[in-house]
Each structure stands twice: as structure tokens, then as C-alpha cells.
Amino acid sequence: MAPPKATIRTISQEAFDEMVKENMDDLGMDPAEALQDAIETLRLQGVDLSGIITCVPGESEVKDNPVIQCLDSLKQLESRLGDQIGDKDLDVMVELFDKFTEVCNVEGSGNAAVAAKNGSVELVCSACSKIPKGCDRALVSALKTMASLLHDVQSTGIFQSSNGPSIVIGILNDNKQNVDILNDGFGVVASAATGNEIVKEAFVILKVDELIMEIMSMHKNVSIPSLYDAIRVLLTADDNRVVASQVYGYARKFAKIGIAEALVDSLHSGLTSPGLVSASIALKAIAVNDEICRSIAEKGGIDALLRCIDDSGKQGNKGVARVCCSLLSKLAGSDANKSAVVEKGGMDRLIKLSARFAEDPSVLQEIMSIITVLSLRSPDNAARAVEAGAGDLAIQAMQKFPAAQQLQRNSCFMIRNLAVRNPENRTALLNSGVEKFIRKAKQNHDSCKDAATDALRDLGLDDYNL
């Protein structure tokens, strides 16, 4: 089902300029007052002014705006593409695209919105479809500019209506050997599909999954970071305009043709792989059901992750530790994988990792999340977790980081699963003094109330609701 149209109120540049002019001509306001009145009136009416150049009509600010200047110059060059355009013109085009990208990426400037409002997305789509073959530098620069322009659902909608998905997939298909073009092309895929279910669907219809698989097979020893980003975005339900996203089905489709297996291969390179973090995040997006999680384990995914976790601890790489723990937690959702993780010494390795990152709550909360999953409906695993030191981990972390809400919450979840089916664990945990830390978490953080209440109840305490 297509998402409904956005209800955001907008205004054209022409209508805004006319409103300011009317304030001056009909109400006798001076230019500065007329401009400010128009801005305040429209904002009170809930009109989105992003992309509007807010200056007095006729003043030089519009024509001198760097976005408008770049656009005007690009329009002139783009109109000649397909004819006899020389190397000098292409050099100028590269320079213009690079400048345009730089201007649009100025944080807080609103330049990307101004560019999109003034036809930049349509223009760059057209330019990308016309750039002659062999002009790799111009194409790379154009793709970088395109990615910088796609910043919201309005700009990605224009990209869709400008045949953007077909143009980009065509470029990727024509340049499978060029890693630079592939990286920038998939960067556009990721930017365009973010928050837009229709664009995701368009790419899937164009068989982006098969293209991704082919390129991963061709470039096994080369990292293409934006390709992993594209996988993650295409499989993330992030369009709040739709009730039911199709990304679950896309994930199964991606796994079926071998993309999950290809991503596992990149994990086997360990911390030497520059794409390890991105590949792990992409793989987590594909692991949407028990069958896929088990297939990842069968291809050596759990072994690779545990090695990465060990190495991340030795090297103090908290980014890798967090991401690998998060992926392992997802895979451990399969009961078969729970047993595999524990049999491979997973509990002890996780506790060892927690000791290495004892000062980093972001890593500790991921470790506790895995132990929570491993202990779910498994008294044996819960017993092994406590033997390994999971109870001590919870108490030390809750005591050391009282303000870390997610860590406090994850601690409560873990304690509950350690205690609910294991009377002997309840005794050990209560004797260690965990109750007072759970009650503090419940008192100090609204997000912990339910988890803390459940933990107190499953520790066997009658006053768990207090």
C-alpha cells in the first residue's frame, strides 16, 4: 500500500516573495518589517519554510545565494550534455558539483532544502542520466551531490518522480568494476530510501538485491561501505507514514539469494576488515526470523562474531564490541543458536569482555542484552550465566552508572531472566544485595519501572509493586 501524502504545509518561493511584497505595498511596512512579518505569520500557520530564501524580493541575496549560483551554472552545462561537450566543460562540471556538495553539506544552513526547492534533484537526476560513458570523475561528483540533496521525504519523493531509482541502478549496472562509482551510487540508494517506503519498493522492483549480490561476489576483498548502508536502510521500517512496511519480506528475499552468507564472509576477516561494523549492522537487518538466524550460524557467523568480540576486547575497540554484541544478541533469538553460543564459551567470553569495558556503559548494556536473550526460557543457561559472573556484572554496573537509563533497564531484564526459573539464582542474587539497586532504578527512571517490577517479582519478593 502506498503511503498517504504528507500533510506538511508548504509555500513556494514565488508565493513567499509576493507576501512580503504585499506587506510593503499594501500595508506600508518597511522591507525588514515586511520580511519578518511574513516569516512569523507563516510559521504561526504551521507552514514549513525550509527551502525558502527569506529575503526581500528584488534584493541581491537571492541571485547571490551560493545554491542558486551553482544551480544556474549547472543548468547551463546540463543543457549541453549529450552534445559535443569537451574535457574542459567536464572539468568545470566536476568543480561545480563538488562546490554544490560542499554548500549543501554546510550544517544548519538549510542549503540542501533551498536546492531541492529550486529543482536541484530533478537537475542532478537528468545530469546523471546524460553524463557520457567514461566520464567517471563527473559521475562520482554528481552522485555525491545527489546524496547530499536527499535529506527528507520531500526530496526523496522528487527523486522517485524524477526516475531517480532507475537512473542510479542503471549507473551501478554499467560500472560494476568501479569501486568509487559503486560506493557513491549506493550512497544515493541509502539516502534516497531513508524514511521512504515507496523508494525502497522501487529499488527492490529494480532488483537491487541481485545487483548487491553480484557486486559483493565480484569485490570479495574490497570494502564498499555504502553498500552495507544501503542494505541496512532498505531493510529498515523507518517510514512513519505507512502502517505495515514490506521490509520483512525484503529481508527474506535478500537472505534467500545469499546476501546474508556474503556478509558472514566479511565477518571472517575480523577486525582487519574496514567494513566490519557496517557489515554487522547490515547482517542484523537481514536476520529477521529463526531460519535466517540459524543459517547465519551454520555459515560460521557465531564463531566469527565471538572471535571479533574477543579481539575487540583485546584491542579496546568499543565500536566493534557494541555492534558485534548487538548482532550476537539478535542471532541468539534462535533457541538453537543459544545453545551454540553457550557451548562455545560465550558466557565466559562475554563476562571477560565486560571486564575490559567496565567503564563503558554502552558496551555493558549490550552484553547484558545478550545474556538476557541466552537465559530466556533456559534455566541451564541462566545457571551458567550466574556461575560466570552475570550477577556481579549487574550489581557493579548498576552501582557505577546510576544515570544510564538503558543500562539500568537492561540490568533489570537480565536479572529477571536469571531468576525466574532458577530458585538458587534468586537466593544468590538477593544475598549479593541486588534488590536495592533494582529499587533505585525503579525510583529514578520511568523507563525502568516495569522491568524493575518484574525483576523484583521474579526474585520472589512480595512487595515488588512498592
Tell me which CATH homologous superfamily contains domain 345-466: Leucine-rich Repeat Variant (1.25.10.10)
Q: How far is Cα 250 from Cα 154, in angstroms, rounded to an integer?
A: 24
Write down the pLDDT at residue 62: 58
The residue with cell 560465550 is 346
- The predicted model scores a pTM of 0.87
Output 200-205 pairs: Cβ under 8 A, ≥24 positions apart: 200/233, 200/234, 200/239, 200/246, 200/247, 200/250, 201/246, 202/160, 202/165, 202/166, 203/165, 203/169, 203/234, 204/234, 204/246, 204/250, 204/253
The residue with cell 551553482 is 70
Choice among 20-34, 159-173, 302-316 with the minimum mean pLDDT: 20-34
Of the segments 29-43, 46-60, 188-202, which one has the largest average pLDDT value? 188-202
pLDDT beyond 90 at 229: yes
Q: How far is Cα 164 from Cα 139, in angstroms, rounded to an integer?
A: 14
Write down the pLDDT at residue 80: 79
Radius of gyration of the chain (CA): 27
Write down the pLDDT at residue 5: 45
Q: Rounded mean pLDDT of 152-167?
A: 96
Q: Rounded mean pLDDT of 411-430?
A: 96
Please report, for the chain, the start and end positions of each structural domain, with discontinuous segments joined by +. Answer: 1-60, 345-466
- At 43-74, the pLDDT tens digits run 888 888 776 777 766 654 556 678 888 898 99
Q: Do 326 and 287 touch, CB atoms closer than 8 A?
A: no
Length of the chain, please? 466
Write down the pLDDT at residue 7: 56
Q: Which grid cell sits at 303?
A: 564463531
Q: How far is Cα 196 from Cα 358, in angstroms, rounded to an integer?
A: 39
Q: How far is Cα 47 from Cα 43, in angstroms, rounded to an integer?
A: 5
Question: At 3, is the pLDDT very low, low, confident or very high (cuts 50, 70, 90)?
Answer: very low
Alpha carbon of residue 19 to chain centroid:
39
User: Strand, coil or helix: what is 77?
Assistant: helix
Q: How far is Cα 450 from Cα 413, in angstroms, rounded to an integer?
A: 10
Phi-psi region of 300 (alpha: psi -120 to 50; beta: other; left: phi over 0): left
Neighbours of 342 (CB within 10 A): 20
Mean residue pLDDT across the chain: 91
Q: Do 260 and 280 touch, CB atoms closer than 8 A?
A: no
Q: How far apart are the first and last CA of the chain?
A: 46
Q: Rounded mean pLDDT of 89-103?
A: 91
